[in-house]
Amino acid sequence: MSAETFAKLIDGKAVAAQIRAEVAARATALAERGVRGGLAAVLVGDNPASHTYVRMKRKACAEVGIESFYYELPAETSQADLEALVESLNARADVHGILVQLPLPAPLDEQRVLSLISTAKDVDGFHPLNIGRLAMKGREPDFLPATPAGVMRLLEAYDAPFAGANAVVLGRSNIVGMPCALLLTKRDCTVTICHSRTRDLPDVIRRADILVAAVGRPQMVKGDWIKAGALVIDVGTNRVPDSSAKDGSRLVGDVDFEAARQVAGAITPVPGGVGPMTIAMLLENTIKAAERSLS
Ligand code: NDP
């Protein structure tokens, strides 16, 4: 097959770089009005992936001129202490966004902590009120969750024909699958949500004009499950063994990329697709929160 018949690559790095540049310009404009955007990142315990994510988010803040405040707490932190920290951050004028890195170690009650974050500072968009507004007709959340917002931006950047399209979302998690399904519904797609109990999954996916895969299973979606010309957004980030790689592993998505790109109209690579968008959207939410603090 010639290269021309392969799917267009949806370049998350490029779209994210543009968003970051816009955020940096907004941060400069705010600084001229005497406000420095500030994000508080709270990390509890020693989950190595969480440490990596928070490090990346703080570095990204520094690059666009957003101040980050970092709170690293031991795994045995009590629910009361964590809640007191969130309340104190809610009250601070220099903190515009609050990010509590998930998952929290047991027995901390994640939902209780998330619901304590002021909705005006909920830059992760996980507060139940914000998620609820997302599900309601005629209501808008203060903030959209970063990964689903990034998925939508990528689809927009590649001119997805939303209205009336069959969209299939594989996965129904609170942080990715469900909000993606709600956002696609708001854009007038006909949405099917698939999960671990879905029957005849390949057939359901074959009807998708737009497919969002967020299942966390390496290369589960096969090339012959993809409708010709479909837009495929692969949220999955799965580490698989690879003896040719320096650290003995590499990242793959939930979609069999090499097979799918021969059928799809456009597809995100992993890495370099949704991943960079997640951080870019968090930065955008934070600068939005800082701008709103002026009004
Ligand atoms: P979860 O584990 O919370 O959710 C996975 C979903 O997939 C569930 O709804 C589950 O169904 C469904 N599922 C599991 N197995 C199957 C199966 N065999 N067939 C059909 N559905 C199945 O994952 P997340 O939503 O948190 O993350 C999904 C992926 O996205 C992961 O790889 C994660 O690393 C990645 N991710 C990437 C981000 C990025 O920035 N690029 C950000 C966030 C996540 P059920 O509900 O029935 O259990």
Residue with tokens 């990346």: 56
Domain extent at residue 105: 34-120
126 within domain boundaries = no
Between the alpha carbon of residue 236 and those of residues 2, 25, 29, 99, the distances in Å are 27, 31, 36, 22
- C-alpha span between 4 and 67 (Å, rounded): 45
Residue 4's pLDDT band (cuts 50, 70, 90) = low
Q: Is 98 left (phi over 0), alpha (psi -120 to 50) or beta?
A: beta
Q: What is the pLDDT of residues 87-118, one digit of tens each?
A: 999 999 999 999 999 999 999 999 999 999 99
Cβ of 221 less than 6 Å from ligand 1 = no
10 within domain boundaries = no
Query: Which tokens sit at 68?
Result: 């980050």
Atom 42 in ligand 1: residue holding the nearest Cα? 147
Cβ of 271 less than 6 Å from ligand 1 = no
**Spacing, Cα 117 to ligand 1 middle (Å):** 25
Please report, for the domain that includes residue 203, its CATH number.
3.40.50.720
Cβ of 179 less than 6 Å from ligand 1 = no
Query: Which tokens sit at 22?
Result: 């816009």
212 within domain boundaries = yes
Per-residue pLDDT averaged across 278-291, rounded? Answer: 98
Q: What is the pLDDT of residues 216-268, one digit of tens each?
A: 999 999 999 999 999 999 999 999 999 999 999 999 999 999 999 999 999 99
Q: Tell whether 270 and 151 lie within a shared domain.
A: yes
Q: Tell whether 246 and 167 lie within a shared domain.
A: yes
288 within domain boundaries = no
Cβ of 175 less than 6 Å from ligand 1 = yes
User: Quick one: how far is CA 189 from the chain centroid?
Assistant: 20
Ligand 1 atom showing the smallest separation from residue 177 Cα: 25
Atom 6 in ligand 1: residue holding the nearest Cα? 171
User: Quick one: how far is CA 174 from the chain centroid?
Assistant: 11
- C-alpha span between 240 and 227 (Å, rounded): 26
258 within domain boundaries = yes
In DSSP terms, 234 is beta-bridged to 213
15 within domain boundaries = no
Residue 156 has pLDDT above 70, yes or no: yes
Residue 3 has pLDDT above 60, yes or no: no
Among 153, 176, 204, 251, the mutation site with the greatest number of ligand 1 atoms within 8 A of its Cβ is 176
Residue 78 has pLDDT above 50, yes or no: yes
Handedness of CA 135, 139, 142, 144 (dihedral sign): positive
What is the total count of domains within the chain? 2
Please report, for the domain that includes residue 113, its CATH number.
3.40.50.10860
Catalytic residue among 122, 124, 234, 256: 124
> What letter would DSSP give residue 250?
E
Q: Tell whether 38 and 99 lie within a shared domain.
A: yes
Q: Tell whether 152 and 88 lie within a shared domain.
A: no
User: Quick one: how far is CA 39 from the chain centroid?
Assistant: 17
Residue with tokens 């309340």: 87
Residue 287 has pLDDT above 90, yes or no: yes
Q: Tell whether 186 and 72 lie within a shared domain.
A: no
- C-alpha span between 62 and 67 (Å, rounded): 6
**Spacing, Cα 216 to ligand 1 middle (Å):** 4
128 within domain boundaries = no
Residue 5's pLDDT band (cuts 50, 70, 90) = confident
